[in-house]
Amino acid sequence: MTDIVTYMEALGRAAREAAPAMARAPTGVKNKALSVAAEGMRTHAALIGAENERDVAAAQAAGLDAALVDRLTLTPERIEHMAQGLLAIAALPDPVGEISGLAMQPSGIQVGRMRVPLGVIGIIYESRPNVTADAAGLCLKSGNAVILRGGSEALHSNAIIGRYLREGLAAAGLPPGALGLVETTDRAAVTHLLHMQGEVDLVIPRGGKGLVELVAREARMPVLKHLHGVCHVYIDDDADAAKALAVAVNAKTQRYGTCNTMETLLIAERRADELLAPLVCAYRAHGVELRGCPKTRDRVADMVSATEEDWETEYLAPILAIRVVADVDEAIAHIGRYGSHHTDAIVTENWTHAQRFLREVDSSSVMVNASTRFADGFEYGLGAEIGISTDKLHARGPVGLEGLTSQKFVVWGDGHIRR
Amino acid sequence: MTDIVTYMEALGRAAREAAPAMARAPTGVKNKALSVAAEGMRTHAALIGAENERDVAAAQAAGLDAALVDRLTLTPERIEHMAQGLLAIAALPDPVGEISGLAMQPSGIQVGRMRVPLGVIGIIYESRPNVTADAAGLCLKSGNAVILRGGSEALHSNAIIGRYLREGLAAAGLPPGALGLVETTDRAAVTHLLHMQGEVDLVIPRGGKGLVELVAREARMPVLKHLHGVCHVYIDDDADAAKALAVAVNAKTQRYGTCNTMETLLIAERRADELLAPLVCAYRAHGVELRGCPKTRDRVADMVSATEEDWETEYLAPILAIRVVADVDEAIAHIGRYGSHHTDAIVTENWTHAQRFLREVDSSSVMVNASTRFADGFEYGLGAEIGISTDKLHARGPVGLEGLTSQKFVVWGDGHIRR
């Protein structure tokens, strides 16, 4: 890699030139590219495994920790799962070309909005090589070109997966330049990618907070990001006890490391005596460490004190902060002050409290009587997910194919002129 | 103004604190604020005129040009028009709270999207003081707080208009801090506003190319912008001659200074001999200067040569570049290369050419058999317009109330947990 700038500019130019062909590609052609790629991965699963083994061996030799090595490893099952993922994306409806809101205007023209691809999408991600196939599949199906920059420890794995994706594009008669893969470990490539505002229309970081913050700070193009998820469940005065227990336990314990896991439980003071005991019992049975506000600790023995920092922390671990609040107002205020605008839920039978929570909590997902763990593209019926956006502009919440597109106005007349 | 940073931070904090009250304000309350403001402006029209006269006198004394002084001047008719504009915004449907796409998912939860305000919107604009009322009205009706920074030459006019807007908010029981007005001519205020990414969710520059480019470069928050409009009409092989003449003449001559005015006419070679003569005759009757490609000049006497620069120029003046192209492919390629992704139209009776143009021209508005001059929030039925966005993300094309909002997912269950 003698000249990283020349290399990145060539990738950017190829993607930009490929974008119009991707944008006008019929659905069947895009689906063919994805299914040929999936077949290539299945046929050459042993070869993918061998290339992946090079990355895994290097990671082990470098003493990387076991969790990272596990995320890096492509077993035969994971390769098959990757191929099935591409076929599942091929089976999704194509968002491109849909026209909505077409209506006649007083002047006689008809005006509607057509859904169109964004152009070129950059994806920057970390160690898991299956993201290469997933992210590329979503971008290509939505009619975009894509430039992928995966983790340097997955270089060989990403390269071989990229090869079959490009073979799929070629087999469908689409320009292979629509899939750009940054095949260098030089970190200058990331900086350069983030400065290619003429070639890249949107960049999506997928990874830890450090990566997302780096991308948000450096990128000269729009960024689709989620920084973190400090999610709440609020058990209201008028909560049904059984629903409260089910939702509050599930939201914490169904998985610990996900961004839609509850990190703080809020409970109305009127229900604290009744509900804290069974909740604490359930959490402790799951091995969850509890940290409480003074009113919680008054009611529960042997609980450490929650600090100001706890209310702002995404633990991603079996730890839960608990706070007793006066009512729905105090719950909404707590979430507004400490939350991360990701996903928050109320458990209540009270119509007005539910409506107020839905309206006033400013998060990408607001829920009534459902576990925060449902915040997910598949659970929401989007069919797939490239990430969960906590931004307000463009796409918000779980982002599927539609979130990788934009809209343009279409206008038709019959020789209409403006007077 | 001893400390501009303290001053701007206070404005930002007041707007941020007012945003939740604006977001939950019922439609009738927001409408009352707008109608009380409109009544205040009507009742005190003489006072507004007197404050405006101070700005006009200062502008004349400073030797500002006549066009700028005219834009700055508030006649009684313009004040009445401003009040009527606020009442018209009050009469528009409220976009906030609309829930779309609510559907049952396999897990049993219901998922939909609720339209919500963005939060705090910053508007930076130039000399016309009526923008103060228009922009504030749109932002407040869509449930946002707003910080306005108008031209320094309109300082007194903007201050008195802002007073009645705040009186309207107070009369409706809404926080007056929802309308922040930067009442200083210190240019450091603009820079500081553009760096308040914690307080301002979106900034909208309204003014010339220099202002928009400054804002795009300096802002640390998303920008809703249109840089310029190099709009095209393409007269296809299969155009109806009467529609072609009507649309191509209207798109250029109905108004010269607007961003949706055609700047380059493309004409299919097969129709050039027939249609160039009557088109040139019509343009010359309107006093439009014509600049042609070699094939155009072969057919028309006394026409100057269009240079490469002409194809990229937004004249905003009675000047038109004309190019003869081989066919719809060459027209689409020309627009892709030289256009500004604003508004482009095809005149054709051919179904396939129309569909290809609609699909492949990547502009905020694409039109068939209609004048580019229709690209406008009122003509599109949006009821109002804060600008025309040539960005692809968030809002694209004419932006009305809906474009000043975002969406969040709403989820309701009955104690549903994830398994």
Q: What is the CATH number of the domain that holds B250?
A: 3.40.309.10
A289 and A247, same structural domain? yes
Chain B hits for A23, CB-CB cut-off 8 Å, are 359-360, 362
Does the residue B389 lie in any domain?
no
Judge whether B82 and B130 are in contact, CB under 8 Å: yes
pLDDT band at B225 (very low <50, low <70, confident <90, very high): confident
> Given CB atoms, is A223 within the 8 Å cutoff of chain B?
no
Task: Give the CATH number, domain containing residue B404.
Answer: 3.40.605.10
3-state secondary structure of B154: helix
> What's the whole-number average pLDDT of chain A?
95
B178 and B32, same structural domain? yes
The complex scores an ipTM of: 0.91
Does the residue A416 lie in any domain?
no
B294 and B149, same structural domain? no
- Nearest neighbour of B414 by CB, restricted to A249, A369, A381: A369
Does the residue A388 lie in any domain?
no
Render pLDDT for A326-346 as a digit per residue (tens, 0 to 9). 999 999 999 999 999 999 999
> Given CB atoms, is B112 within the 8 Å cutoff of chain A?
no
Whether residue B417 is predicted with pLDDT greater than 90 in this model: the reply is yes
Does the residue B144 lie in any domain?
yes
- Cβ contact (<8 Å) for A364 and B103? no
Instruction: Give chain B's domain count.
Output: 2
B72 and B161, same structural domain? yes
pLDDT of residue B361: 97
Whether residue A1 is predicted with pLDDT greater than 80 in this model: the reply is no
Render pLDDT for A269-283 as a digit per residue (tens, 0 to 9). 999 999 999 999 999
B247 and B214, same structural domain? no
Render pLDDT for B49-75 as a digit per residue (tens, 0 to 9). 999 999 999 999 999 999 899 999 999
A302 and A247, same structural domain? yes
Q: Which of B105, B111, B113, B376 to mutate to test the interface with A (most CBs of A within 10 A)?
A: B111
- Nearest neighbour of A118 by CB, restricted to B379, B392, B398: B392
DSSP assignment string, A175-188: -GGGEEE-----TH
Chain A hits for B109, CB-CB cut-off 8 Å, are 370, 374, 379
A335 and A312, same structural domain? yes
B241 and B216, same structural domain? no
Percent of chain B's residues with pLDDT above 70 = 100
- Cβ contact (<8 Å) for A109 and B414? no
Cα-Cα-Cα-Cα dihedral sign, residues B278, B279, B282, B284: negative
- Nearest neighbour of B381 by CB, restricted to A105, A414, A417: A105
B368 and B301, same structural domain? yes
> Given CB atoms, is B406 within the 8 Å cutoff of chain A?
yes
B268 and B292, same structural domain? yes
Alpha-carbon distance of B401 to B404, in angstroms, equals 5
B147 and B54, same structural domain? yes
Render pLDDT for B142-157 as a digit per residue (tens, 0 to 9). 999 999 999 999 999 9
Q: Which residues contact A15 (CB under 8 A, 6 or more apart)?
A: A120, A145, A146, A147, A177, A178, A180, A199, A200
Our CA-based measurement puts residue B119 at a distance from the nearest CA of chain A, in whole angstroms, of 9
Render pLDDT for A41-92 as a digit per residue (tens, 0 to 9). 999 999 999 999 999 999 999 999 998 999 999 999 999 999 999 999 999 9
Q: How many of the other CB atoms lie within 10 Å of CB of A181?
A: 21
Render pLDDT for B357-369 as a digit per residue (tens, 0 to 9). 999 999 999 999 9
Judge whether B196 and B5 are in contact, CB under 8 Å: no
Residue A83: domain span? 4-224+399-410
A183 and A85, same structural domain? yes
Judge whether B218 and B225 are in contact, CB under 8 Å: no
Does the residue A381 lie in any domain?
no
Does the residue B415 lie in any domain?
no
> Given CB atoms, is B318 within the 8 Å cutoff of chain A?
no
pLDDT of residue A2: 59
Return the closest-CA partner of residue A374 out of B97, B102, B101, B412: B412
Compute CA A57 distance to the chain's CA centroid, rounded to the nearest angstrom. Answer: 29
Does the residue B387 lie in any domain?
no
> Given CB atoms, is B408 within the 8 Å cutoff of chain A?
yes
Whether residue A110 is predicted with pLDDT greater than 80 in this model: the reply is yes
Does the residue B384 lie in any domain?
no
Render pLDDT for B98-142 as a digit per residue (tens, 0 to 9). 999 999 999 999 999 999 999 999 999 987 899 999 999 999 999
Q: How many CA atoms lie within 13 A of A417 on its CB side?
A: 17
- Cβ contact (<8 Å) for B358 and A242? no
